[in-house]
Amino acid sequence: MQMQFGVEDMIEHVPMEDKRKSAAALDEARLRQQAIGVKLRQMFDEVVNEAVPDEFLEILRKAEPPKGER
């Protein structure tokens, strides 16, 4: 016995109420991602604008080859 499927069988039927719920969930997820992005940019800017500790600068100076050896 062979079963036949039509196009209607392949289309997922989602009630309109469920579509609205999923659209609301998608909007909420986008807002959450946007808020996370804003916070990450703020944190990045803070780190970029921090002063480099003198000890670290000294290590970098020691690791750099003298200007004549480049």
**Residue 7 — very low, low, confident or very high, per pLDDT cuts 50/70/90?**
low
Domain definitions of the chain by residue range = 38-62
pLDDT digits (tens, 9 = 90+) for 15-38: 666 667 788 889 999 999 999 999
* Token digits of residue 55: 């000890």
At 33, which amino acid appears? Answer: Q
**Residue 55 predicted with pLDDT over 90:** yes
- pLDDT computed for residue 11 by the predictor: 59
More confident residue, 66 or 6: 66
Above pLDDT 90, what percent of the chain? Answer: 54
